[in-house]
Structure 1
Amino acid sequence: MKLLLLLFLCVVGTLAQVEYDDYEGEAKKEPKATVDPRGHRPVSRGRETYSSGPAAPPPVSGASRYRGRPTAAPVGKVKVEKEEYPESGGCTHMSEKMGVLCPTGCELKKTIQKQERNVKPTVDQLKRSVDELTQSTNSIYGYVMDMTAEVAQRQRVTEGNGMLVGQYTDSLETQHAYVKDAVDVTFPQNIKILQAVLEKIREKIQRLEKAVTTQRAKCQAPCKVSCPIPVVSGKECEEIFRKGGEDSQMYLIRPDPLSMPYKVYCDQTSQKGGWVVIQSRMDGSVDFGRRWDDYRRGFGNIAFDVGKGHCETPGEYWLGNDRISQITKMGPTELLVEMEDWSGSKVYAQYEQFTVQGEATNYILAVGRYSGTAGNTFLDGATELFGENRTMTIHNGMMFSTYDRDHDKWIPGDPSKQCSKEDGGGWWYNRCHACNPNGRYYRGGAYTKYMAKHGTDDGIVWMNWKGSWYSLKSISMKIRPFFKS
């Protein structure tokens, strides 16, 4: 590109020189007016200088300057006449003083004019080529600028794509690490856990299969009811007795026609019968140190068969506070408590009034009109004690307490001062008791504080008969409707 531009400038310079000179067609024009060659002398800053030597030829062009050593100017004014130099067509100077005729360049002009016809078409063609090249150059420049802008745009897009690819790469690496951790660690751990669960399920299935096999073996023969329930039933045992159920055994009673019937043991022999047994202790086979909900629902074994075909032997059980409360609310109710020591002696305590309120009041106890041989612990407390020590053992008017629901009078709110927790079972404790029918079962009767779990009299105690450190062999509580004689 630079070479073409340099060539173009050279041609333009040559054309300018050609245009400056005269062409052949201009040779016939009128000769120009004669011009004094000294009139083209460069303007000097100083005055003209003179030389004593021979006269120097006049300057040919404006670029010449005077030479030689300057001399002093002649004194006075010297009149110099103007000489005329004939012009010979601009090719030679015709002055004799010049010595010879000097060529002025006419031959060069002619030579250039002769070559003009060959050079000018070539120059014109070259100009056209230069113009075309200029246009092509401009087009190419525009194309290059567009390409540069497009490259920059694509570079920005590429950088954006690079950032996006980097983000995707980071996300992919994170997901790959998570998947690798899951495959290498989590999955094997989960598989081991599932394998352990599967083994446990297999064991349970095997136990179930064994139980099914055992049950099938038992069911090969017709099933026999070992403890059939008599057909006669009623609201309570008194009604069953009047209907003909005079044998002491297990029956179904239904105090409320809107509720389901349930099993009880009916004592139909003591004091003319009709008693619903609500509590029974006889061999220590049932644990009475239970929670509130157990005492509310009831627990234990109602009765069992000793080989006579009927469940006529009572077991150890608590009927349930809800059921006891329901029966006592049906009407006036009396209570009979029978007990036996380890020597076979028997006593009883009877109360003509016995009522247990609902759970909303924590099953408050109310008794009245004692009679019997065991001693009135419910109303009088422990008669071997005196003053406040005795009154704090009275059970009448107390709320029911278990080790998880403390309602006694012994420092309420103090978990270390709970009668039920120390005395082994649920009961209507005060601070704490004169009787403890639901206490721990000790064989042999006498026991000591060193045998007790908390060092307290936690046995089956009736203090007004055997004192604090004697645990009875058996005791039962029974209720029936009270009728005035």
Structure 2
Amino acid sequence: MQLRFLLCLCIVGALAQSDYDEDDGAEGKKDPKEIQDPRGHRPVSRGRETYSAGPAAPPPISGGSRYRGRPTAAPVGKLVLEKEEQPDSGGCNHMSEKMGVLCPTGCDLKKTVQKQERNVRPTVDQLKRSVDELTQSTNSVYGYVLDMTTEVAQRQRVSEGNGLLVGQYTDSLETQHAYIKDAVDITFPQNIKILQAVLDKIREKIQRLEKAISAQRAKCQVPCKVSCPIPVVSGKECEEIIRKGGEESQMYLIRPDPLGMPYKVFCDQTSKNGGWVLIQNRMDGSVDFGRRWDDYRRGFGNIAFDVGKGHCQTPGEYWLGNDRTSQLTKMGPSELLVEMEDWSGSKVYAQYEQFTVQGEATNYILAVGRYSGTAGNTFLNGATELFGENRTMTIHNGMMFSTYDRDNDKWIPGDPSKQCSKEDGGGWWYNRCHSCNPNGRYYWGGSYTKYMAKHGTDDGIVWMNWKGSWYSLKSISMKIRPFFKQK
């Protein structure tokens, strides 16, 4: 900035000198003889000037030196100091002989400066703008340098972090490499030996099964004999059979559809005036109820067996089948009776005057109503020991049927890890999940814990409103018959 300022002053001085030269040319050049010594009006000597007592002394010779001796004594009387008259020092006389040829006056200098200002000012303004632009550019460059410095510091920190992360990954890879090497060298060979031993045992079992099958085929070459004959009387359902005289509880043939084939059922002709078709029975755990959708649709298990009386008067464990149950309930209004017994011999029941199972197209939706009994209304009310949503999610009325291979419950549909049937042991009208579980796993003795359960859930033969979640019943049966309103 100082360098630029000095440059501006030099330019101003040069331009001012040019103007003075032009003024001198206008007035014409003086004769060299007429040019006065610029110091002619001042004494060369520094001695004291003399006083004059009378007429004025002649002016000193131009360029000469004044008298260097002692001053003459002034005359006695009034002393008069002769003061040399000077030109008008405050006027505008230029190149005055008395003032000197190069003596500028204030008025001319002002005019000259004002004249030069018109030429110098645009240059100064241009220089000022250039200085401002240079200042802004310098600031921008300075800011850019600061940003670059910050970015370099950040990149350096990132680089250091990446180096640390690479080191951690390297350590992890080395650990995994050691683990894999150990698994390949030691673990895999051991597992192969174990699997080889298991394979040998499976082969032995297959051989034994082949022998057993061969023995059974040899036995089946002889015609089988029925151990208990089926009564001659039959009907559309057990209610019609009892009206025709079949008053003993045993296995019968029924034919609900005149165009369909008859099939075997167990008729309970003693409980609550009889006429009940047994659609489900659990009593000893001899039949596995953890089955697929098609098994529950067709039915499975043992209808009845003979205990030595010549007739099949003892029901076995079985599920009649969803298709047949749906067909029976569509013939007209039906009612449901659920009887159960604990391991101490106590018995209770739950009866519903309305019971309907829809067809397979609706996934066998359940509908019940008008409860009475001593076991507790789990189908309509859910588990009464729970409250709010926890209770309503255990209501079975209105639910679709679910098996482990066809999930229709309300517990996160579509999630294979959230299936009530898979966790609770059998097919049923699950919600999220149950307050009763007649088709669950059979536990001898009644009480069981989550550590005994396969998935840690209450998967036993449960009726929560009577015995709670962790008590598996000794027996339970479900029976249906046509409903007739009592008069």
After TM superposition, the score normalised by the length of structure 2 is: 0.56
5+ long unaligned stretches in structure 1: 1-202
1:1-60 per-residue CA deviation (whole Å, 9 max, x = no partner) reads xxxxxxxxxxxxxxxxxxxxxxxxxxxxxxxxxxxxxxxxxxxxxxxxxxxxxxxxxxxx
Letter in 1 for 2:323: D
Distance 1:224 1:414, change over 3 A: closer
* Gap change, CA 1:407 and 1:230, over 3 Å in 2: same
In 2 relative to 1, CA 308–328 (structure 1 residues): closer, same or farther, beyond 3 Å? same
Aligned counterparts of 2:355 and 2:389: Cα–Cα separation in 1? 25
Partners of 2:352 and 2:215 lie apart in 1 by 53
Say which SS state the counterpart of residue 253 (structure 2) adopts. Answer: strand
Match of 2:386 in 1: 385
Match of 2:350 in 1: 349
Deviations 1:156-205 (A, max 9, x none): xxxxxxxxxxxxxxxxxxxxxxxxxxxxxxxxxxxxxxxxxxxxxxx999
**Shift in Å at residue 227 of structure 1?**
1.2
Q: For residue 451 of structure 1, what is the aligned residue in structure 2?
A: 452
Aligned to 1:324, the other structure's residue is in SS state helix
Shift of residue 225, structure 1, vs aligned partner: 2.9
Work out whether 1:434 is the aligned partner of 2:435.
Answer: yes
1:480 matched residue in structure 2: 481
Shift of 1:394: 0.2
In structure 2, what residue type is equivalent to 1:249? Answer: Q
2:271 aligns with 270
- Structure having the higher Rg: 1
Partner of 1:373: 374
SS of 1:379 mapped into structure 2 = helix
Summarize deviations over 1:441-462 as a string: whole Å, max 9, x none. Answer: 0000000000000000000000
Q: Which residue of 2 aligns with 1:424?
A: 425
Summarize the Cα distance change of 1:206–1:406 in structure 2 as closer, same or farther, 3 Å threshold: closer
Question: SS of the residue aligned with 1:294?
Answer: helix
Percent of aligned positions that are identical: 88
Partner of 1:468: 469
- Work out the CA distance in 1 between the residues paired with 2:377 and 2:210: 57
Query: For residues 206-257 of structure 1, what are the alpha-carbon distances to aligned partners after superposition, in whole Å with 9 as ceiling and x for unaligned?
Result: 98986675456x66xxx75311000000000000000000000000000001
Q: Distance in 2 between matches of 1:224 and 1:233?
A: 21
What amino acid is the match of 2:252? Y
**Partner residue in 2 for 1:402:** 403
Alpha carbons of 1:417 and 1:224: their partners in 2 closer, same or farther (altered >3 Å)?
A: closer
Q: Deviations over 1:284-329 (max 9, x none)?
A: 0000000000000000000000000000000000000000000000
CA distance in 2, matches of 1:398, 1:430: 6
AA in 2 matched with 1:405? R
Structure 2 SS opposite 1:378: helix
1:224, 1:279 → 2: CA distance? 26
Partner-residue secondary structure (3-state), 1:422: helix
Amino acid at match of 1:334: E
Aligned residue for 1:415? 416
Distance change >3 Å, CA 230–CA 449, structure 1 → 2: same
Unaligned runs of 5+ in 2: 1-207
In structure 2, the CA distance between the partners of 1:458 and 1:258, relative to structure 1 (3 Å rule), is: same
CA, structure 1 residues 447+224, in 2 after alignment: closer, same or farther (shift >3 Å)? same
> How far apart are the structure 2 equivalents of 1:249 and 1:463?
30
* Paired position in structure 1 for 2:192: none
Change (3 A) 1:208 1:411: closer
What is aligned with 1:363?
Answer: 364
C-alpha change, 1:206 and 1:375, in structure 2 (3 Å) is: closer
Letter in 1 for 2:248: D
Structure 2 counterpart SS, 1:420: helix
What is the aligned partner in structure 2 of residue 230 from structure 1? 231
Specify the code of the residue in structure 1 equivalent to 2:478.
Answer: M
Q: Normalising to structure 1: TM-score of the pair?
A: 0.56
User: Taking structure 1 as reference, are residues 299 and 224 closer, same or farther at Cα in structure 2, changes over 3 Å only?
Assistant: closer
Q: Which amino acid aligns with 1:264?
A: V
1:295 maps to which residue? 296
CA distance in 2, matches of 1:417, 1:211: 41
Counterparts of 1:315-334 in structure 2 under 5 Å?
Answer: 315-334=316-335
Which SS does the other structure have where 2:241 is aligned?
helix
The alignment partner of 1:438 has SS state of coil
* Cα distance in structure 2, aligned partners of 1:259 and 1:461: 36
Matches within 5 A, 1:20-419: 214=219, 224-419=225-420
How many residue pairs are counted as aligned between the two chains? 280
Displacement of 1:404 after TM fit?
Answer: 0.4
Q: 1:214 to 1:292 in 2, by over 3 A?
A: closer
In angstroms, what is the RMSD of aligned CA positions? 2.0
Relative to structure 1, the CA distance from residue 390 to residue 242 in structure 2 (aligned partners, 3 Å threshold; closer, same or farther) is same
